[in-house]
Structure 1
Amino acid sequence: MSKSFASTGDMTEKTVTFKEIGPDLYAYTAQGDPNSGIIVGDDCCMVIDAQATPAMANDVIARVRQVTDKPIKYVLLTHYHAVRVLGASAYGAQGIIASDLTLALIEERGRQDWESEVGRFPRLFRGAETIPGLTWPNLVLDTELTVFLGKREVKIWHMGAGHTAGDVVAWVPDAEVMFSGDLVEYHSACYCGDAHLREWPETLDGIRNANPKALVPGRGDALTDRATVREAIAMTRDFVQTLYTQAELSVARGRSLKETYDATRAVMDPRFGSFAIYDHCQPFNVSRAFDEASGVHHPTIWTAERDQEMWAALQG
């Protein structure tokens, strides 16, 4: 693994793909960088996940303008992570939608998460000087919210904890298409530093039971058939369960965090080492899995200082 901290050395720009995955439904993807989704309704649009900065959000807006001139009325935040939410101001949206748990997490740790993420992966925060401050939702749901874009129905569900406590998905019934945020990844490592690992597989059951015809994951290519959607869900489940199982075994055997990290990577590297951002994620992933297996239910806040201390410790 590279000794440089997290992804500070990753300056390789990714190629953006903007693809229609259903009638007036689009995926903005970038080779393992964070995805966004677009739902075009009768009289307005919804964007799912805003990108990390207004400067980066402007590229999403430019792609939307290639297919419609309808206003972007809503931005849905699938969870609270800075790389997903801090670009929201660019859209001029009437509604910023999130779960009540996501709102609580922004209040609790939004500033620390912002500083942590920028320090870990500066390339994903191009134009950071354009961020006006934290993004605050003004439409908040508990378990379910239905939004109409004219006559087009969008259902937003909080199915349970997973990638964070507050993840939501967007479901478009007329097309049987889902936007999952980071609850599902495709050939990309799951970031689990703020996860609820024992609950995540149960939340994936809800996504699988919806049986989407197509799905936009948090990272990786858009999935345009049911078989590939099921494959992505299974791969995500395998990643999460393997991570937690190895941490739980290590904790039961009295291993240290560093010993747990080494044992977990020995099992996971051959299976998942080729996935996007794998090396970036694993120190944070094992740290969280070790904590959860040790009885820490509520994920500890990551700060820029904690990031560096953990990284140094796990380099041996």
Structure 2
Amino acid sequence: MILVTGGAGFIGMHTVQALVDLGESCVLAQRRDFALPRTWAGRCVTERVDLADRAAFLALGRRHKITGIVHLAGSVPWPPSTHEPLAGARMALDTLFNVLEAAREWNVDRIGIASTIGVYGGAPGGSPYQEDVPLPMTAGHVIPAFKKVGEVLTDHLAGALDLDAYNIRIAAAWGPLGRAASVFFATPQLVHAAALGTPPPAPVHAADGADMCYVKDCGRAIALLQLAPRLNHRIYNVAGGRATTYAEVVEAIRGVAPEARIELSAGRSLDGPAEDVYLDITRLREDTGYEPAYDTGRAVADYIGWLRAGNER
């Protein structure tokens, strides 16, 4: 039985689905109550718990025979306005320590810790970024800042505690259950505009883009990492493996929703980077056999179909 923290969240739901599809059972640890999909009955259970509450979290191991952990819960103090800086930092670190302590106490087979593509900001060289590129010690945003700290701590404690632990650097995930608009990339809002007639974001430049990983592929990649017979590294990129431009996204949208009126600005934004960061996924492929199942066209069609079926996001 695999514990998925944040299992009822965006990436968490798709990771649990992938684990169930691969024959696993899961415990979904959440701060809020959550009703399981009927298709998961008998395979999954939910536990409402504050991950920063050490005693309550460790007690999960007395109620369930947990054999692995995928830590996806958003323990980073975000948005910053909701946390006093020191209190937010303490909460983030306490949560990570509790997860690692639980892994040792429960003697789990493997533990995965979510990180982000944002840790590559300011890294030397250029795309595609491999996992062993040296990272700068600074970060321009609170999320990559705390994820870098978490990566270093996880790597150190994995060795000190003899844990099979790995960090997952996740690219721009999008798709069913995700936010209708992201502060980091425009694709979710573009798709919502086409599917539901909501206002498109503006301006969006045709040549801008991102390494976009459709969330169903993202969840499956994480599940494969958790279940692989052997992992040869402690850091893995989970990504599309290429930069997808907004021109490509809109072309795919028009193939599904030709009536959509979405206009893009020409070229690249003057306020953005000179090129878009994307990640090398060779390690992921070699150690798990992973291959993306959704190209841009299939992903856009799947998401528009989901939204038009009556789902809000």
How high is the TM-score relative to the length of structure 1? Answer: 0.31
How high is the TM-score relative to the length of structure 2? Answer: 0.31
